[in-house]
Amino acid sequence: MNCRYIHRILIFAFLAMMAAGCKKWLDVSPKTQIRQRELFENEQGFQDALTGVYLKLGNSSLYGQQMTYGLLDVLAQCYTITFAGSDAHSATFKQAGIYNYADDRVKTRIAAIWSESYACIANLDNILTQIDGMKKRFTLDNFDRVKGQALALRAYIHFDLLRLFGTAPVVDGNKPSIPYVTTFGIGVYPLLPVNEVIANCLKDLAEARQLLGGNKEVDILYSEDPTSNYMNYWAVKGLEARIHLYSGDKEKALAAAREIIDRQAELFPFVAPAQASATINRDRLYATEHLFTLQVYKLKDYAEAYTKSGSGLPLLSTTSSKTRALFETTSGGSSDIRFNYAFVQFGSGYSTSKYWQEATNEYLKNIVPMIRMSEMFYIAAECATSTEEGVGYLNTVRHNRGLAILNINITADKLKAEILKEYKKECYGEGQLFYYFKRINNPLIDGSSADATKVYVLPLPEDEVEFGKRFE
C-alpha cells in the first residue's frame, strides 16, 4: 500500500480518537475566551492543538459541508433546489439560491461560517503566540512543521473569508473587507482593505513556505504526528497560485502553478481510469491529486444527508438535462470519467457521489479536497503567455478525464470558455465555482438571472456589525 495512504489511515484513526476529548480546546465562547496556556507545555501539546484546528475546519458549518458542497455550491447554482414543505434545509437553500441574504435561515448559515472561521483563527493565533518561546522543546523539524502549518492555515481561512465577505480585487481592491487577526485575545479588529488582506495572506504564506520547504516529500511514512501530511510545502505553493490569480497577478500565479506542475507526475499523479471506475473502493475524489486534503470524520452523516436518497431526488441534486448539458454528453463528453463515475442518476435527476462513504479502504474515506492538482493546470492555462500554451495545460486535464484534446489554435475567448467548463465539472461539490465567477466579476452566475455583481459580497453577521460597530 502506498505510504501516503498508510498515513491517511493513521490520521483518521487519531482524529476519531481525539474527537471525543478535544472539546476543552476546541470549544470557543462568543468572546473567544480560549484557555491560552492549555496543552502548550510540550511539543505534543502544540501538535494536538493544531490537530484540533483541522478537526474544527471539518465541522458542518465549514468545509465539512457548507463551505464545499453545501451553501457555497448552492450560491454557484450547482443544484436544482425544490422546496419540500417544512424541511428546513430545502427552505434555507431555496432562499440562498435566489440570494435572499435577508432570510433568517440564510443569515444563520452565513454567521456560522464567520464565527467558526474566526474561532479557528483564534486557535491558530494562540499556537503562534506561544510557539516561538517553546522552540527548544521541539525535536527534529517539528517546530518548523507546526508553525508553518499554523501560518498557512491562517492565510487559507482568511483568504476564504475575504472571498466571501470582501469585494473582488477586480472591482475595488481598496475597499474595507474583513479583519486579518494575528494576535490572540479579545478585541475589535479593523476591517482591512482587500489588497491589504491579500498582502497579509501572502506574508504568512511566505514564512510558511520557508518553514515547510525543508521537506517537500508527499508520501510520508508512519508518524505519530497526524498533522504531518496536511498543509505541506506544495499546498502553500498552490494557495499562493490561487491568491495571486485572485489578485490579478498572473505572472506570479503562473510561476507558482508551474513549480507544482513540474513535479505533478512524481508527487500528484492523475487518477487512473480503473481507480475512478472501480466497483469496489472507487476513488471518487481522485485522492492522489490533492495538494491539501481535509479529514472530516463525520462526512458520511454530513454528505449523504444532502446527496443520497432512499427514494426521490436528494436535496442537492439537479436535473438530468442540466447534468448532461454540463458534461456535453451529446458532443463527446459521454466519455468523461467525472460524469460516468462521480454522479448517480435518481429518476429524473443526478446527484454527485463524490462524498459517498462506501469504500472499505480508509484512505478513500472521510476526505474533502481543499486544493487540487487540476486547479494548478487551470491557473496555468488562464495565465499562460500564449493561447497555445494555455490550451496545452488544459488539455492535460481533459486527457486524464477521458476527453478529446482541444485544438491548439482556438481563440483566447474559446479558451476562457473551456476553462470555465472545466471548473464547473471538476470542482462540482467543492465550493470553488462561486469564487470563480466572483473573481472575474461575471455579471451572471450560470443558472441564475440575478445581477451577480450585487450578490458576490455576503453581508457581515449582525453581531459583527453591532458589536464591531461596522456601520457605513
Specify the pLDDT at position 306. Answer: 93
The structure's pTM equals 0.92
d(CA 326, CA 302): 25
Show the domains of the chain with their CATH numbers: 10-317+351-372+428-460 (1.25.40.390)
Specify the pLDDT at position 85. Answer: 57
Specify the pLDDT at position 4. Answer: 46
For each of the chain's 472 residues, which pLDDT tens digit applies? Answer: 344 433 333 333 344 444 444 444 344 443 333 455 557 989 999 999 999 999 999 999 999 999 999 999 999 999 998 766 567 889 999 999 999 999 999 999 999 999 999 999 999 999 999 999 999 999 999 999 999 999 999 999 999 999 999 999 999 999 999 999 999 877 789 999 999 999 999 999 999 999 999 989 875 433 334 444 489 999 999 999 999 999 999 999 999 999 999 999 999 999 999 999 999 999 999 999 999 999 998 999 999 999 997 778 899 999 999 999 999 999 999 999 999 999 999 989 999 999 999 988 888 889 999 999 999 999 999 999 999 999 999 999 999 999 999 999 999 999 999 999 999 999 999 999 999 999 999 999 999 999 999 999 999 999 888 777 665 5
Specify the pLDDT at position 158. Answer: 98
Specify the pLDDT at position 470. Answer: 66
d(CA 407, CA 256): 26
Q: Which helix (H) or strand (E) holds 110?
A: helix 104-131
Q: What is the 3-state secondary structure (H, E, C) of 395-439?
A: HHHHHHCCCCCCCCCCCHHHHHHHHHHHHHHHCCCCCCHHHHHHH
Instruction: Say whether 472 sits in a helix, a strand or coil.
Output: coil
Query: What cell numbers appear for 8 in the block?
Result: 491517511
d(CA 155, CA 239): 9
Specify the pLDDT at position 471. Answer: 56
Q: Which residue has the cell 442537492?
A: 316
d(CA 106, CA 458): 11
Q: Which helix (H) or strand (E) holds 343?
A: strand 343-346
Q: Which residue has the cell 496555468?
A: 380
